[in-house]
Amino acid sequence: MTTAPPKKLSLKERYTLMTRDLAWDTTYQPMSKVYPQVGYEGIKIHDWNRWEDPFRLTMDAYWKYQAEKERKLYAILDAFNQNNGHLTVTDARYINVLKLYLGSTPPLELMAARGFTNMGRQMVGAGPRVACLMQAVDEYRHFQTQIHSVSNYNKYYNGLDEFAHQQSRMWYLSDGKSFFDDAITAGPFEFMVAIGFAFEYVLTNILFVPFISGAAYNGDLAAMTVGFSAQSDEARHMTLGLECIKFLLEQDPDNLPIVQRWIDKWTWRGTRKLGAVGMMMDYMLPKRIMSFKEAWEIYFEQNGSALFNDLARYGIKVPACFSQTVVEKEHVSHQSWIGFYMKSRAMSFHTWVPGPEELDWLSEKYPNTFDRFYRPTLEHWDKMEKQGKRFVNNTQPMNCQCCLNTIKYNEPDDPMSTCFRESVYKGEKFHFCSDHCKAIFDHEPEKYVQAYISSHQALQGNCAPEGVDVTANDFDPARYMNDFWRLDPRATGDFNGSDDQKNFAAWRAQATTN
């Protein structure tokens, strides 16, 4: 008797045996008690088996693959550090990109790791649980590798050492913190739409372009490698977010309006988060890649439109904010930079007026707005600085109660006036930067009244050390802020005349002359 050799398992069969086949339905306790969070957002799921695993990676292969990535990454980081790689970057101004990006992002990666760990617990289907577990480990890895890549710079440059303390206190880090706090305290499906879809799919390229390409263009092999290593995980994250949206929309028609609201909300929240990224691209990278406007057109308008065209088949409409972002792409990076420039005493990175060639580049990239609205301000400030009167704004900023950005953006139809919105909730007035942020607040006011706004905390006396009488008539809230933030004075102020500028020049001279 002859027996046929057993047929080789297909990738799908192998994956099924190693994941879904290892799960079981509970019998001692009802499944609804074991997975208590999946119901309360109003999302209806009828059949978890309809979840299609967007990638078929088993845990054993995952460990092996990620371990190899780590070995490779740390070999490159070590070589970079040993060879004084920090002196190969284009210009010491570049290091301020790292201070801002790598000062704000690792804690957010950690929040993403926590969020996906919770998703891995809450999702009922075994497929999404495994995918969320992997993404949680990925996010934790990104958190660690980013800190490791910046730690070498921390030995030489100011302002990199207190990011963990500053994350929950510093005014300009609160927009990112608020984004992830909002997501992680939402229900599981909203979290998946917020992070898996809006962040990982719609917006991630605009984050990666300035970071990875910016690092590559500016000679930072370490940050570039960290970026590539992280990006090799991103495709998995994007497909998870997309599959989640499809699954929600296909499971029940009642899910459509809920998902639509989340897409509207998180596309806008993500857009606001990217204002500072635009500023990195247009102002902070000494060697530029492309303008923020160009990046927005390629990655958001073109690719985003392609996605929303496809989602239209399900009845999803283009997010309400889409047209406003198209108008704002010509303004946000300039308004962000101007906003940061004047708060230079309250930040742990430096700002500066771009050089004449850089101003010309901005004029060329922003023919409709730069010369008309922004160049005159920057040239005026340049003159003031040369007269020894560097412009500084010492007042407390006003923040949007929803996105936590300082209120500095213009009315959508009028570049010359600032956009203010307000809502009254339980007799108290709350302020917003835009119609979209106001709408998000109005839908869930109880959530957003809790926002931590640094300037409010200062005025309420919550940032002064113990023993200070914060009710005294002469109480000066600003006096205690730098200590509260643990702000290194060497890291503040203009780049011109900074320690970083002098040290970099001296070290580079040592490395290149006798």
Partner 1 sequence: MSHELTIEPLGRTIQVEEGQTILDASLRAGIHLPHACGQGYCATCKISVTDGEVDHGNASNFALMDYEREEGRALACCATLLADTTIEADVEADADARDIPVRDVSGTVTRIENLTPSIKGVWIELDANTPLEFQAGQYINFHFAPEVGQRAFSPANAPGAPLLELHVRLVPGGRGTQWIHQELKAGDRVQLSGPYGRFFVRKSAHLPSIFMAGGSGLSGPRSMILDLLAEGSLLPIVLVHGARNASELYYREDFEELARQHANFTYVPVLSDEPPDSGWKGRRQFVHEAAREHFAGDFRGHKAYLCGPPLMIEACIATLMQGRLFERDIYTEKFFSAADAQQVRSPLFKRV
302 binds partner 1 (CB under 8 A): yes
Query: Look-up: residue for tokens 């988060």?
Result: 273
CB closer to partner 1 out of 256 and 470: 256
Of 134 and 238, nearer to partner 1 (C-beta) is 238
Nearer to partner 1, 84 or 303 (CB): 303
The answer to the question of residue 313 lying near partner 1 (CB under 8 A) is yes
Residue whose CB is less far from partner 1, 297 or 488: 297
Looking at the Cβ atoms of 259 and 378, the one nearer to partner 1 is 259
Interface residue with partner 1 among 246, 261, 345, 508 (CB under 8 A) is 246
- Rounded to a whole number of angstroms, the minimum distance from the CB of residue 212 to partner 1 is 10
Distance CA 176, CA 275 (A): 11
CA–CA dist 338, 341 (Å, integer): 5
Q: Do 348 and 306 touch, CB atoms closer than 8 A?
A: no
- The tokens describing 468, both together, are 């200070």
Q: Which stretch binds partner 1 (CB under 8 A): 163-171, 313-321, 397-405, 443-451?
A: 313-321
The answer to whether 306 contacts partner 1 (rule: CB under 8 A) is yes
Q: How far is the CB of 253 from partner 1 (least distance, A)?
A: 7
- Tell the smallest beta-carbon distance from residue 302 to partner 1 (Å): 5
What are the residues facing 421 on neighbouring strands? 432
Min CB(201)–partner 1 separation in Å: 9
17 binds partner 1 (CB under 8 A): no
From candidates 65, 323, 383, 460, binder to partner 1 by CB under 8 A: 65
Q: Which is nearer to partner 1, 40 or 65 (CB)?
A: 65
Binding of partner 1 by 346 (CB under 8 A) = no
CB nearer partner 1, residue 139 or residue 382: 139
* 297: contact with partner 1 by CB under 8 A: no
Cα–Cα distance for residue pair 287/319, rounded to 1 Å: 34
The helix or strand, by DSSP H or E, that contains position 146, with its residue range, turns out to be helix 126-154
Q: How far is the CB of 7 from partner 1 (least distance, A)?
A: 9
Q: Is 317 in the site for partner 1 (CB under 8 A)?
A: no
CA distances from 273 to 170, 243, 277, 313 (A): 15, 24, 8, 28
User: Helix, strand, coil % (nearest 5) of the chain?
Assistant: 65, 5, 30
Question: Among 124, 148, 92, which residue's Cα sits nearest to residue 26?
Answer: 124
Does 386 help bind partner 1 (rule: CB under 8 A)?
no
Binding partner 1 (rule: CB under 8 A), the pick from 22, 312, 327, 509 is 312
Q: Are strands 421-425 and 414-418 parallel, antiparallel or unpaired?
A: unpaired
**Per-residue DSSP letter, 346:** G
Take residue 403 and report the two structure tokens written for it. Answer: 């996105």
Q: Shortest distance, CB of residue 306 to partner 1, whole angstroms?
A: 5
118 binds partner 1 (CB under 8 A): no
Please identify which residue in 183, 193, 242, 407 interacts with partner 1, judged by CB under 8 A: 242
Residues in contact with partner 1, counted by CB under 8 A, come to a total of 36
Quick note: the x/- pattern for partner 1 over 35-64, rule CB under 8 A, is: --------------------xx--------
Applying the rule CB under 8 A, the residues between 66 and 95 that interact with partner 1 are 68-69, 72-73
- 189 CB burial (10 A radius; 0-12, 13-18, 19+): buried
Nearer to partner 1, 315 or 356 (CB): 315
Residue 189 contacts residue 178 (beta carbons within 8 Å): no
**Helix (H), strand (E) at residue 31:** helix 31-34
310 binds partner 1 (CB under 8 A): yes
- Chain position carrying tokens 């011109």: 496
The CA dihedral of 508, 510, 513, 514, to the nearest 10 degrees, is 180
> Cβ atoms within 10 A of the Cβ of 59, count?
14
**Range 176-215, binding partner 1 (CB under 8 A):** none
Interacting residues with partner 1 between 445 and 504 (CB under 8 A): none
Only one of the segments 8-16, 89-97, 420-428, 496-504 lies at the binding site for partner 1 (rule: CB under 8 A); that segment is: 8-16
- Within 10 angstroms of residue 52's Cβ, the number of other Cβ atoms is 10
CA distance 398 to 405: 8
Contacts of 18 (CB under 8 A, 6+ apart): 58, 59, 60
- How many residues does the structure list for the chain? 514
Considering the complex, what minimum distance in angstroms separates the CB of residue 290 from partner 1? 17
**Which of 32, 232, 368, 418 lies at the binding interface for partner 1 (CB under 8 A)?**
232
Stretch that binds partner 1, among 5-13, 129-137, 387-395, 481-489 (CB under 8 A): 5-13
Q: How many CA atoms lie within 13 A of 228 on its CB side?
A: 15
- For residue 474, give Cα distances in angstroms to 209, 267, 477: 48, 44, 9
Of 20 and 236, CB closest to partner 1: 236
Distance CA 346, CA 458 (A): 13
Question: What does the alpha-carbon distance between residue 209 and residue 95 come to, in Å, rounded to a whole number?
Answer: 17
Task: Identify the residue among 74, 314, 361, 425 touching partner 1 (CB under 8 A).
Answer: 314
Of 69 and 177, CB closest to partner 1: 69
The site for partner 1 (CB under 8 A) is made up of 10-12, 55-56, 65, 68-69, 72-73, 228-229, 231-232, 234-236, 238-239, 242, 245-246, 250, 253, 302-303, 305-307, 309-315
